């Protein structure tokens, strides 16, 4: 059993992906794996972390900028640790079967995951609140608002991570 905590780092603009990261952190802790959940842009060092889960929302066909920057900034340290990657995006249930579904930007996520040697990559549905502000989010929200994050699927994925980290 590793004693080093797992870092769950995220890139999120409207909070939906940040909450997924919190759910993953809670699941890890429930499995007695210490976990720190932090915004990717605020992480200064990976020292002391035994493994990393890196997630980001999808925006205009790309993984969140904070997740991409994190992957580049810590590429060497990440390759030395077990890494898991996730993204949250499509405003529908198309990824619920474990596929990339309608996730526009999945390609960008897989590219980074391959570079980091990620052990697994998961695409989850996203959330857009009806009251989202700013352009083009507010216009999108009129047509596509909803919460498509499947918490039980996310927790099942976190459980697989716990099993690997806890070995
Ligand atoms: C302006 C805008 C662009 C988006 N672009 C994409 C996209 O390219 N691919 C996708 O799957 N989802 C896209 N989405 C949906 C978001 O990924 C989804 O709302 C996600 O949950 C947002 O995460 P956040 O709350 O952590 O920022 C977009 C949403 C907005 C508002």
Tell me the pLDDT tens digit for each residue of 113-160: 999 999 999 999 999 999 999 999 999 999 999 999 999 999 999 999
Q: State the Cα torsion 77-149-2-118 to the nearest 10°.
A: -40
pTM for the full predicted model = 0.98
Tell me the pLDDT tens digit for each residue of 71-105: 999 999 999 999 999 999 999 999 999 999 999 99
Pocket of ligand 1 from Cβ distances under 6 Å: 12-18, 57-61, 88-91, 103-105, 126-128, 136-137, 140
Q: What is the pLDDT, as a whole number, of residue 167?
A: 84
Tokens of 2: 């590793």
Q: At what angle do helices 106-116 and 65-73 cross, to 10 degrees?
A: 20
| Domain spans, the chain | 6-165
Residues 6+ positions from 62 with CB-CB distance below 8 Å: 68, 105, 108
Specify the ligand 1 atom closest to the Cα of 62.
8
Candidates 3.60.20.10, 3.30.2270.10, 3.40.50.360, 1.10.150.120; CATH matching 6-165? 3.40.50.360
User: Ligand 1 centre and the CA of 58: distance in Å?
Assistant: 5
Q: What mean pLDDT value characterizes the chain?
A: 97
Q: What is the pLDDT, as a whole number, of residue 142?
A: 94
């Amino acid at each position: 059993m590793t004693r080093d905590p797992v870092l769950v780092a995220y890139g999120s603009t409207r909070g939906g992906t940040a909450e997924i990261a919190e759910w993953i952190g809670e699941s890890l802790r429930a499995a007695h794996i210490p976990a720190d959940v932090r915004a990717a842009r605020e992480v200064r060092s990976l020292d002391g972390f035994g493994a990393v889960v890196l997630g980001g929302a999808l925006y205009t066909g790309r993984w969140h900028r904070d997740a991409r920057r994190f992957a580049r900034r810590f590429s060497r340290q990440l390759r030395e640790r077990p890494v898991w990657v996730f993204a949250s995006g499509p405003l529908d249930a198309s990824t619920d079967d474990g596929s990339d579904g309608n996730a526009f930007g999945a390609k960008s996520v897989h590219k980074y995951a391959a570079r980091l040697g990620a052990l697994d990559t998961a695409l989850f549905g996203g959330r857009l609140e009806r009251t989202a502000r700013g352009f083009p989010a507010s216009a999108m929200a009129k047509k596509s608002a909803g919460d498509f994050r499947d918490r039980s699927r996310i927790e099942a994925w976190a459980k697989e991570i716990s099993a690997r980290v806890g070995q």
